């Protein structure tokens, strides 16, 4: 049981993989720096990356191999 209710182990694993991938690409300190003093382009690039990762983890059958295909700035 999670804060989202009863989730399958695969959903939890996908969310955990997504979170780790985001933090490897944009560590928390970097996210904060970009949000605080980054350019619009830097913010847009980070947002697109995070949104693509989250969309992957919220998909019906997220394949870990596809997560690695999401690169910063592109989906």
Angle at 73 between CA 71 and CA 75, to 5 degrees: 60
Average pLDDT over every residue of 10-23: 95
Q: Which of 13, 10, 18, 1 is nearest to 55 (CA)?
A: 18
Encode pLDDT of 31-65 as tens digits. Answer: 999 999 999 999 999 999 999 999 999 999 999 99
> What does pLDDT average to over the chain?
90
pLDDT band at 75 (very low <50, low <70, confident <90, very high): very low
Domain segments of the chain as ranges: 9-67
């Amino acid at each position: 049981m999670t804060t989202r209710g009863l989730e399958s182990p695969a959903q939890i694993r996908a969310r955990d993989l997504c979170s780790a991938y985001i933090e490897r690409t944009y560590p928390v300190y970097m996210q904060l720096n970009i949000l605080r003093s980054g350019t619009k382009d830097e913010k847009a690039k980070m947002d697109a990356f995070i949104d693509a990762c989250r969309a992957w983890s919220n998909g019906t059958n997220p394949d870990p191999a596809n997560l690695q295909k999401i690169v910063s700035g592109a989906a």
